[in-house]
Amino acid sequence: MGRLDKYARHCKRKEPTKVLPIRMPESTYNQFRQRCEDLGLSMSEAGYLLIKEEIEDDVYTSYTNEVAVTTSPLQLPIQKEDAPTTKVIGQKTFLPSTRWTSASYEIENELPCPLCNQWYSKANFSRHAKSHNSSTRGILESHQEIVDQMIKRRKSN
């Protein structure tokens, strides 16, 4: 008897719900769909019941303890009882993000436009850059000297 057998054809609770999209291999999806059809459950109901059981854990623990007492192991353990079950892997080294940001050009939440010689809100600068047929990065990096002068003037005031 599987975990979902005891829930076959039970009714759902009526309360507000949220959607939980998950990804899984197609073969697992097809097996789960077939299992749910056999039990008369939707895949959403079955997923909800499994998650609920994982959170509450009492129903499954009492069921498995009862089965463990009444049955003997079907297979000898593959791993020795005293062998460690976890493998320690060295820590990953921190690699800074390679994503470009305009933070180094920003002063008081504004960015300089070297083409207009004006400062614009950081939130709207991308839209402004499009008026010059460019991107934020394109404008700021291609006119680096003017941008540096504008930043220097702004910091000195």
Span 87-95, average pLDDT: 64
- pLDDT confidence tier of residue 55, bands split at 50, 70 and 90: confident
Residue of higher predicted confidence among 63 and 128: 128
The predicted pLDDT at position 95 comes to 65
* pLDDT at residue 45 tops 80: yes
Q: What share of the chain in percent tops pLDDT 90?
A: 32
* pLDDT at residue 112 tops 90: yes
The predicted pLDDT at position 98 comes to 76
- pLDDT confidence tier of residue 5, bands split at 50, 70 and 90: confident
Name the packing angle between helices 26-39 and 43-56 (round to 10°): 90
Span 76-81, average pLDDT: 66
- pLDDT confidence tier of residue 143, bands split at 50, 70 and 90: very high
> pTM score, two decimals?
0.40
Span 119-123, average pLDDT: 91
| Kind and range of the H or E run holding 151 | helix 144-156
* pLDDT at residue 93 tops 80: no
Query: How far is the first Cα of the chain from the last one, in angstroms, to the nearest whole number?
Result: 76
The predicted pLDDT at position 17 comes to 78
* pLDDT at residue 51 tops 80: yes
Q: Say how many CA atoms lie within 13 Å of 46 toward its Cβ.
A: 19
Separation between Cα atoms, residue 45 and residue 106, nearest integer Å: 50
In this structure, the dihedral spanned by the alpha carbons of residues 32, 37, 38 and 39, taken in order and rounded to 10 degrees, is: 90
Separation between Cα atoms, residue 149 and residue 152, nearest integer Å: 5
Average pLDDT, the chain: 80
Span 55-68, average pLDDT: 62
How do the domains of the chain map onto residue ranges?
A: 5-70, 103-156
